[in-house]
Chain A
Amino acid sequence: MNLSLNRRRFIQATSSAVATAALLTRSGAARAQSGEVRVVVVGGDVAKAHAEAIIKPFEAETGIKVTPINQDVSAAQIGMMVAANSVSVDVGILSQTGVLDLARHNYLEKIDYSTYKQNELDAMEEYAKKPFGVAPYMYSWVMAFNTDKFPAGKPQPATWADFWDVVKFPGARTLPTGQDGGGPWEEALLADGVPVDKLYPMDIDRVFASLDKIKPHVRKWWNSGSEVFQIMRDNVADLAHSYDGRMVSLVVEGKPIEVNRNRQKLTLDYYYIPKGSPNAQNAQRYIEFATRADRQAALARLFPVGPSNRNAYKQIPDDAARKLATYPEYMANSYAINAEWYAEIGQDGVSNTQRLVQRWNDWILR
């Protein structure tokens, strides 16, 4: 009895061990076959959030090895890679303007939406599913100010006109540099009284006339998210025009910062696949996986970016959801960047982005 039981147990144990071994080898083989995918994750907290929310579960599900690229890869770099037929990126992430530019040069693979589940596709915002890119999240450009300087109960800057009003709200400002084509253009127009539905096509002369007024009060035109983070953290400036994520991080840290989302400028990044990507098939799978509602929710819990998949909000607690740019309540007071206008090429063969850069370069030296 004892013996037989033991033997049965023994057989069970061995067979399951054999089965496990077989499974292991099979998944090992699958891993070898399915190879790798090289994904731009940029770096810092965003990269860490990607690793937890997307990369690890993706590797577990598919056996495909993800090689993260911890670096900003510009549209021009991708263009050079494709033109030189030496592509070392499978999944990239870029602003909508960059992706639009790449698509226009025919540098991108088409996204294969046939593998997406219907319920996921339906829940995804229209802007998020383009032929050459899928947007996993949205973020915004917001106003942030120091609550020690402008405490509750006293007047606080509410609009962009207030931000420009240095008499009513004295203090040092920090705004993003315009050297790469994006910049505080829309905000300058809003401050000057342009209604939000009349922003585009932008009146570039009016933009810079408005910027002239604020120029002497800007302590630093920041270049990177880490810079504006540091500036606001150290009270170098009292008011900032910044990405929302960085400022929300400061609020979470307990710093005296308030984020004002009135007239926040929504923008998004797209996942894309460069033409000639060596692992294009894996890249398609990665993007499909990363844009699922549960993955977007997982990402948003780790890093404050607003999901593009509405179903993701069902899985995010309300206090966390309130930190995100696409939280339904904020949407009414938001507007989106018009990437088409930026990419538009004028009669002189210069795109509006380039026109803004040229104008900026001239303006800073005046």
Chain B
Amino acid sequence: MKTLQKLGRRPIVLTAPAFVLLIAVLGIPMVQLLLTSLNAPAFSLSNYQGFFEQTSNVRVLFQTVKISVVTTAICLIIGYPTAYLIVSASKHVRIALIVLVLIPWLTSGLVRTYAWVVILGDHGLINNLLLNLGLISSPVPLIYNRLAVYIGMVHIMLPMMILPLLSVMQGIDTSLLAAARSMGAGPFLAFWRVFLPLSLPGIRSGSLLVFVVCLGFYVTPQALGGLGDAMLSTFIASQVASSFNLAPTAAAAFILLGIALVVLSIFGLDVSGSQGRAARATRKSLPSPLPSFAALTRFLKDLAAPYRAKRWTAQLYSARGDSRLSSIVGAVFVTLVMAYLLFPGLIVVMMSFSGGPALEFPPSSLSLKWYRAFLGDPSWTGAFWNSIQIAVTVAILSTILGTLAAYGFNRTSRRVRSVLTMAILAPITFPAIVVGIATYFGLLKLGLLGTRSGLVLAHSTGAITSVVVIVLATLANFDQRLERAAQSMRAAPIQVFMRVTLPLILPGIIGGAVFAFIGSFDEVIITSLVSGFDMQTLPLKMLENIRQEIDPTIAAVGSLLTLMPLLWLMILYATWWWSKSRLQQLSAKPPA
């Protein structure tokens, strides 16, 4: 009991298990890589100098940042309204939409990238359609350019933006909006001054997640982009493959990490955010006493507030004529976003029934032969089971460690939190290929290279990060006074956690677990380095297949991957909504 109380007072201890894992698997080898990049023990900056002396490196660095920023911005512009509309939809529509957002995310990134090749290709779906309609005489170059890179990257990243936004938006009390409206704020102002500030933690964590993952991209730009659309990871990957000297590669990686850190410190050192902070932001935007033009217009607007407030009550009881148009626009928008997210998946499913010898759309004949090829080949089914087992273990391990760590973070002082958050973000801030090399050294030291446990640990580093980011975003909207209220009624710390905190942050935890599972299930670059060639995972097998011969077995696997998780997604969401509705019942009960 005493230790528990101590733990309660020193929440930072909760982050220890996650950090022990991260430091052993990644931290120590990372330090060794840093020393290598500095030519230790002689210590010189020659590798860094060498990097910047090559103009191509500097250019590709800028390009990497630019592509990442644009992708993040597009994701936010599409993702925010989508999340908003999903949250404001009726319960059943909302569940359906969330599932629709999750499905493409569950489809392997490799499969989705190749689906875009089939859609955008010179003789792909779109060009064939236009050619057949006689609208064009020769194929329009839709692929092998920057636009195709953005289409592919945004497609992969969009769910990663929407899910944290959803997680935060669902915690926002909509009666606050009604309150603002009742005090005379227009719908836009109510959104701008109340909803948007409250949703900032979601924007911040979603954007950061998308940005840092984009920095490490390389399969998608390589497959969809043109010659000049290289990202730094492409350079690093080819350096790793062609040179035994890790020092320049390590330097390039640390430069990329440096950029990520700068961005993090400028835009969102505090990934978790907090209600207090959001509230302060709102307060800051109150009219300043200076007699500025802005203040004057605001003053004039405020004069009209009582009138608008009156009208709002009238509107409340009148038929909602004007909102019909906006709901139609919203419905169209959400439909378009969902079509964009799901269309490639559908293509993959349809291609998987092709009877031809290679990937083609539309299939020239129908057959189940690629499913038979998948199920009848023990190397495919074996890889599939390996991946399932590893991903489930990773999800369990990282959800426990990640939730503990996020809980600990949330309760520490902001300065400590920001430093620790930096550290815990490392696995996804580093280009995957460098994390792979560092992990390789780390597992070697632990004697776990090429083992199943080794692979679980390697995947857990990134998975813990996802869990922490998502749970933190949820905790940011969690009112700690609820805990204090429970404590004041003599609930023990563990009781408080199980009965108050856990049910409230459960959606975030489940979201984190889903991300952890998918991250592990889809991981290919790190896996190829640390699997020690003993263990074939499904993505490794798919990559091998894509590199060697594009045969529709990939489409069959992809479509199975798209259709299968629907089942357990339903189960997952059933638990989520069960906990939510139970909570609502609890809160609806009159105080005894």
Contact = CB atoms under 8 A, between A and B. Distances in A.
Interface of A: 38, 42-47, 69-77, 79-80, 84, 86, 88-89, 101, 105, 177, 179-181, 215, 218-221, 223-226, 229-230, 233-236, 253, 353-354, 357-358, 361-365
B544 interface: yes
Contact of A225 (B244, B529, B547): B547
Nearest to A70: B544
Contacts, number: 127
A71 B359 CA distance: 21
A221 B549 contact: no
Given A362-B54, A365-B59, A226 B550 contact: yes
A343 B85 CA distance: 59
A104 to B, nearest CB: 10
3 nearest CB pairs, A to B: A44-B548, A362-B56, A43-B544
A357 B243 CA distance: 11
B547 A224 contact: yes
A215 to B, nearest CB: 8
Contacts of A84: 441, 444
Given A71-B528, A236-B123, A221 B546 contact: no
Interface string B233-271: 011001111111000000000000000000000000000
B238 A180 contact: yes
B227 interface: yes
Nearest to B234: A179
Contacts of B379: 70
Nearest to B239: A357
5 contacts: A71-B528, A74-B242, A88-B532, A364-B230, A365-B59
Interface residues of B, number: 52
Contacts of B235: 179, 361
A362 B358 CA distance: 35
Contacts of A363: 56
Contacts of A215: 227
Interface string B542-562: 001111111000000000000
Interface of B: 54-57, 59-60, 63, 121-123, 141, 144, 222-223, 226-228, 230, 234-235, 238-244, 357-359, 379, 437, 440-441, 444, 449-450, 528-529, 532-534, 536, 540-541, 544-550
Contact of A45 (B359, B541, B549): B549
Contacts of B54: 358, 361-362
A234 B230 contact: no
Contact of B536 (A44, A70, A75): A70
A219 B122 contact: yes
A101 B549 contact: no
A179 B233 CA distance: 12
B549 A88 contact: no
Given A76-B243, A220-B226, A365-B63, 8 more contacts: A44-B548, A71-B540, A76-B241, A86-B449, A177-B227, A224-B546, A229-B549, A235-B123
Nearest to B229: A364
Given A43-B545, A46-B548, A226-B548, A77 B529 contact: yes
Interface of chain B, main secondary structure: helix
Contacts of A234: 121-123
A71 B535 CA distance: 11
Contacts of A71: 528, 533, 540, 544
Contacts of A72: 547
B533 A73 contact: yes
Nearest to B60: A365
A73 B379 CA distance: 19
Nearest to A220: B144
Nearest to B528: A71
A181 B242 contact: yes
A234 B243 CA distance: 35
A275 to B, nearest CB: 14
A76 B122 contact: no
A352 to B, nearest CB: 12
A234 B357 CA distance: 13
B541 A70 contact: yes
A299 B209 CA distance: 48
A79 B533 CA distance: 15
Given A181-B242, A362-B56, A365-B60, A88 B534 contact: yes
Contacts of A43: 544-545, 547-548
A357 B57 CA distance: 12
A45 B548 CA distance: 7
B227 A86 contact: no
A84 B121 CA distance: 43
A315 to B, nearest CB: 26
A38 B357 CA distance: 30
Contacts of A253: 357
Nearest to A356: B242
Given A44-B549, A89-B533, A365-B60, A79 B244 contact: yes
Nearest to A224: B547
A180 B244 contact: no
B122 A236 contact: yes
B171 to A, nearest CB: 44
Among B57, B227, B241, B440, max chain A CB count under 10 A is at B227
A361 B544 contact: no
B547 A365 contact: no
Contacts of A70: 379, 536, 541, 544
Nearest to A219: B144
B526 to A, nearest CB: 13
Contact of A229 (B63, B534, B536, B550): B550
Given A44-B548, A88-B532, A224-B547, A76 B234 contact: no
Contact of A180 (B228, B242, B441): B242
Contacts of B240: 74, 76
Given A88-B533, A234-B122, A226 B244 contact: no
B589 to A, nearest CB: 59
Interface centre among B222, B239, B547 (most CB of A within 10 A): B547
